Structure 1
Amino acid sequence: MTTSVSPTRLILMGAATTLAGIGLGRFAYAAQLPGLIEAGWLSARDAGFVGATNLLGYLVGAVLASRLARRLGPGAVIKLSTLLIAVSFLASMWQGPVWWFSLWRFVAGVTGALLMVVAPSLIASQLPESKRKRGTAWIFTGVGTGVLISATLVPLLMQQGPELTWLGLGLIALLPVALVWRPWPGLPRAPQQGQQQARVGLLLAAIYLAYLLDAVGFVPHTVFWVDYLERQRDFSTWAAAIQWGLVALGAISGPFLVGAIARHAGWHRTLFTALALKGTAVLLPMLVPGTLVVSLSSFTVGALIPGMVATTMGRIGELVPAHAHATAWGRATALFAVGQAAAAYLMAPIYASAEHSSLIFIIGGSALLCAATLTLATPLFAKHKPVTEVS
């Protein structure tokens, strides 16, 4: 079924899916952790386990996304996933056993990945060429909005207790449900005949590897940054909270900045620039002292949390046709989930050693600069040509 939807409405619907799937489904829980532990709902060890189930769910969802979209239809997958994220918050109002919270964080992980893979690739295929670069980036403004909520509203709600916090998040998550609960266009149809270009497969492999390395660089600021500033850089709780607010401000600005760069420079140059800037921003506070440098790092990394997603998806969209995009983007998302989980697992014991805690930022920044170098070298593989199948 083909449904005509205006580009503006499509972008708004896409932003609603990234708000629900990542902005709320991922970042809101991280902001709740200190309050949940302090209130005795979860121990520190249990909180880490519950968070790990979310990462596992994200990997499962990324692997299954394109298959479910083909079987059930993209509209059904998007609507059900958005609804289940709201349900996961409301169900967590009950102070149940650890398996109860793990179940719903797993559900939020699966559905978050489904939304991240299915909705953006579908919307990008429907946008007119003149609006595709800008629209592809703007879809991910929902991520920054969720980060802002986690930095501002969640701490205020936690003062009233975990139950009201879960309720508040559940009610907020119903807004994206209302925005996506309308007809969606169908999946793009594959042409009957086509020829796969092996060289494009090599280019895609390089993009996948770069995105996996981006996941390694994603972990230090999103998992350890605020705690590192408080415990290792002697920031007050208030000052560290301001830095997370700068991450949120960057995350809101990122899609607009990336979209503007991509319109003028193209996705390939934008991808290299984003990786190089993000790697520099992660490394710089370890090399140069000062609050200004820390603030610049917070804003830049925040901007490139959604910016890297939009840029990688846009670059993949240049290499594969519309009907193959969800499959290719799903593979990239799955690799990101693997890289993110592995990096978090390996970095945790390094960070636990106070004298080596800054090493995780050096690892993350170096991984990003390696990804930038790889991206810069991809034209050496081949001149890209579209393919019709991604096997």
Structure 2
Amino acid sequence: MYSGPHATALASARSALPSLWPAFALCLSMAVANGLGRFAYALLLPAMREDLLWNYAQAGWLNTANALGYVLGAASAYALLHRVSARRLFQVGLGLCLFTLAATGASGALPWLSSQRALNGIGAAWVSACGSTLVLLHYRHAPTRRGAATGLFFGGAGIGIVAAGLAVAPLLALRGPSAWPQAWMALGAVGLLASLWPLRLAGQVQEAAATAEADRSGPLPLRHLGACLAAYFCWAGGYIIYLTFIFAWLREHGLSWQSGVAVWSVLGIAILGSGLLWRRALAHWPGAYTLSVCCAISLLGTLAPLLGSTSSLFISAAVFGSSVFIAAAAIAVLVRQNLPAARIGRAMALFNLAFAAGQAIGPVAAGAIADRIGLDGALWLSAALHLAAVLLPWTARAPRHAA
């Protein structure tokens, strides 16, 4: 064990680092917005499809409705952040996510379900864009912590995924497909508990004065960032296909609901821990490079069930989960490396818009393919989109400089 002045200096430096607890608190908002609001639908999809007599295209449409809401939320965030603070929009978005989680199960009518999924998407877009902005602002003077904090924030979806698996799968297994409305209510209750801390903390984050004012500094530098914008679009379409249909693929191949919960839990735990695994890359690599590498690893996770046996689903979930949300964290790092603080909020909203568009197209296109040639075809589409996301950042990488 080290001792003496060097050890004392090292201990002092470590103690001076800001705590990661604020990032953890804010990551709970991603557990609600993404883990419960978006990805838990994969667990309910087989039950709702059976009880409501849907085909795969109809089932995929509900995630597309959610994604279209996300498009609207991302576009409105881009406009609203001229006038509204990021923390206020974050709080409203999280409240909207909570309301729609509980309200989704009130009716089985497709128009009602579509409207609730769309409203949930609007709230999730506000939470993602503004929450990531709050994290970047909170750690703006701590570059050595910024990567870990950003990865932890986006990895919060893993908490929601695990919580959804434990709450929803046993309920549907015991009470049958007709219990899907109660499953949505359960998700709402879990979401309420998870939202208390981030809602409180968001009001305490001090935003830079420049971010509260309208951004009048001209258009964003898309000549440098455009390739990553396109990659983010492709990644969004690819990852949401996997998370929408992987549970249905598992059920179609005869695995039990207990195995499904286990796979789902592995996925959630891997997502939650991904920020720590990638903390060095997020702290030191250029954002474009991190984006490409993490998409390559997600691609391997997508291919695992297609090229192996059903037992490879556990490997797939671990590999996919350990990398998939690092793409969003890499975008946040890219923005922070290339733009001043006053422009972070709107830039994140713009990237969220590209993400939302890709995620809107993915599920309905994959559902149509699944109806024609089976769920393997949907996963192959996911793999192709991941491959595009791997290659695009290398065509025009953004120059790295500190903001």
- The structural deviation recorded for 1:274 is 0.5
Distance 1:237 1:162, change over 3 A: closer
Question: Which consecutive unaligned segments of at least 5 residues does structure 1 have?
Answer: 1-5
Distance 1:12 1:295, change over 3 A: closer
Matched, 1:44 2:54: yes
Match of 1:98 among 91, 110, 113: 110
Match of 2:382 among 351, 364, 372: 364
In 2, the alpha carbon distance for the partners of 1:55 and 1:195 equals 30
Q: Which residue of 2 aligns with 1:143?
A: 157
- The structural deviation recorded for 1:240 is 4.3
Distance 1:162 1:197, change over 3 A: closer
- The structural deviation recorded for 1:126 is 2.2
Match of 1:244 among 260, 264, 283: 264
In 2, the alpha carbon distance for the partners of 1:64 and 1:194 equals 17
In 2, the alpha carbon distance for the partners of 1:193 and 1:221 equals 37
Does the 8 A contact of 1:81 with 1:111 survive in 2? yes
Q: Which residue of 2 aligns with 1:203?
A: 224
Does the 8 A contact of 1:351 with 1:360 survive in 2? yes
In 1, the alpha carbon distance for the partners of 2:23 and 2:380 equals 36
Does the 8 A contact of 1:70 with 1:187 survive in 2? no
Q: Which residue of 1 aligns with 2:301?
A: 281
- The structural deviation recorded for 1:362 is 3.2
Q: Which residue of 2 aligns with 1:172?
A: 190
Does the 8 A contact of 2:304 with 2:315 survive in 1? no
Q: Which residue of 2 aligns with 1:213?
A: 234
**TM-score where L is the length of structure 1:** 0.84
Q: Secondary structure at the match of 2:74?
A: helix
1:344-363 correspondence to structure 2 within 5 Å: 344-354=363-373, 357-363=375-381
**In percent, how many aligned pairs have the same letter?**
22
Does the 8 A contact of 2:144 with 2:283 survive in 1? no
- The structural deviation recorded for 1:134 is 0.9
In 1, the alpha carbon distance for the partners of 2:320 and 2:182 equals 31
In 1, the alpha carbon distance for the partners of 2:238 and 2:318 equals 15
When the two chains are superposed, the root-mean-square deviation of aligned CA atoms in Å is 3.0
**TM-score where L is the length of structure 2:** 0.82
Q: Which residue of 1 aligns with 2:342?
A: 323
- The structural deviation recorded for 1:133 is 0.9
Q: How many pairs does the alignment contain?
A: 374
1:1-391 correspondence to structure 2 within 5 Å: 8-38=20-50, 40=51, 42-44=52-54, 47-95=59-107, 97-127=109-139, 128-158=142-172, 159=174, 161-182=179-200, 183=203, 184-186=205-207, 188-189=209-210, 200-231=221-252, 233=253, 235-287=255-307, 289-291=308-310, 293-354=312-373, 357-379=375-397, 383-385=399-401
Q: What whole-Å deviation, never above 9, does each CA across 1:112-149 have from its counterpart, x for those lacking one?
A: 11101111122212202221111111112320011112
Q: Which residue of 1 aligns with 2:8?
A: none
Q: Which residue of 1 aligns with 2:4?
A: none
Q: Secondary structure at the match of 2:100?
A: helix
Q: Secondary structure at the match of 2:40?
A: helix
Distance 1:373 1:34, change over 3 A: closer
Question: Which consecutive unaligned segments of at least 5 residues does structure 2 have?
Answer: 1-17
In 2, the alpha carbon distance for the partners of 1:116 and 1:181 equals 14
2:316 maps to a residue whose letter is: S
In 1, the alpha carbon distance for the partners of 2:36 and 2:282 equals 27
Relative to structure 2, which stretch is displaced further, 156-165 or 243-252?
A: 156-165
In 1, the alpha carbon distance for the partners of 2:363 and 2:185 equals 29
2:126 maps to a residue whose letter is: L
In 2, the alpha carbon distance for the partners of 1:9 and 1:66 equals 28
- The structural deviation recorded for 1:93 is 4.8
1:226 maps to a residue whose letter is: F
- The structural deviation recorded for 1:284 is 4.1
- The structural deviation recorded for 1:197 is 10
Q: Secondary structure at the match of 2:206?
A: coil
Q: What whole-Å deviation, never above 9, does each CA across 1:210-251 have from its counterpart, x for those lacking one?
A: 1111123213321222322443x5545544443333222222
Does the 8 A contact of 1:351 with 1:358 survive in 2? yes
- The structural deviation recorded for 1:61 is 0.3
In 2, the alpha carbon distance for the partners of 1:145 and 1:188 equals 33
In 1, the alpha carbon distance for the partners of 2:375 and 2:35 equals 27
Distance 1:98 1:247, change over 3 A: same
In 2, the alpha carbon distance for the partners of 1:277 and 1:125 equals 29
- The structural deviation recorded for 1:193 is 11
1:208 maps to a residue whose letter is: L
1:207 maps to a residue whose letter is: C
